[in-house]
Structure 1
Amino acid sequence: MNPSPAIRKVFQGVATRQQMFRMFDRHTQRPNRWESDASSLYAGEWFEIAATEHDYMFEILPPLWIRGSIFAMREYLTGSVTSVFFTLRIDGVIRHFHGYCDLSDRSAVELMRVAIVDRESRPVRSMSRDERLEHIWSSTADDYRGYAGDRWPQSDRGCRTVVLYGGKEGTFLKLLDDLTDEEISAKLPVHLRHLPSAIAA
Structure 2
Amino acid sequence: MLHLSSIRKIFQGVAYRRQMFRMFDRHAQRPNPWENDASALYAGEWFEIGAVDHDYMLEILPPLWMRGNMFAMREFLTDSVTCVFFALTIDGQLRHFHSYCDLFDKGSPERMRNAIVDRESRPLKAMTRTERLDHIWSVTHDDYRGYAGERWPEHARGERTISVYGGSRGTTLKLLDDLTDEEISAKLPVHLRTLPDAIAA
Could you say which TM-score interval applies, normalised by the shorter chain? over 0.9
Matches within 5 A, 1:1-201: 1-4=1-4, 6-201=6-201
- RMSD of aligned residue pairs (Cα, Å): 0.7
Letter aligned with residue 53 of structure 1: D
SS in 2 for 1:78: coil
Alpha-carbon separation, structure 2, partners of 1:157 and 1:20: 28
Measured against aligned partners, the alpha-carbon deviations of 1:26-52 in whole angstroms (never above 9, x if no partner) come to: 100000000010000000000000001
Report the Cα offset of residue 121 of structure 1: 0.2
Q: Distance in 2 between matches of 1:5 and 1:26?
A: 15
Instruction: Measure the CA separation in 2 of the matches of 1:96 and 1:178.
Output: 32
- Provide the rounded CA distance (Å) in 2 between the counterparts of 1:2 and 1:185: 23
Name the % identity: 73
Equivalent residues of 2:5, 2:43 under 8 A apart: no
2: CA distance, partners of 1:142 / 1:174: 15
* Deviations, residues 26-79 of structure 1 (Å, cap 9, x unaligned): 100000000010000000000000001101100100000111121000000001
Displacement of 1:5 in angstroms is 5.0
C-alpha spacing 1:34/1:5, structure 2 compared with 1 (3 Å): closer
1:4 deviates by 2.0
Structure 2 unaligned runs (5+)?
A: none
Question: Would you say the 8 A contact 2:63–2:73 is kept in 1?
Answer: yes
Could you tell me which amino acid in structure 1 is paired with residue 172 of structure 2? F
Gaps of 5+ in 1: none
3-state SS of paired residue (2:62): coil
Deviation at 1:124, TM superposition (A): 0.5
Alpha-carbon distance in structure 2 between the residues aligned to 1:3 and 1:29: 15
Figure out how many residues of one structure are paired with residues of the other and give that number: 201
Q: CA deviation at 1:3?
A: 2.4
Partner SS, residue 89 of structure 2: strand
Q: TM-score, normalised by structure 2?
A: 0.99
Q: Classify the secondary structure of the residue corresponding to 2:77.
A: strand
Write the distance in 1 (CA, Å) between the matches of 2:183 and 2:168.
Answer: 16
CA distance in 2, matches of 1:87, 1:180: 36
The separation in 1 between residues aligned to 2:135 and 2:143, in whole angstroms, is 16
Q: Secondary structure at the match of 1:163?
A: strand
Distance 1:121 1:66 in 2: 24
**Given the two structures, how large is their TM-score scaled by the length of structure 1?**
0.99
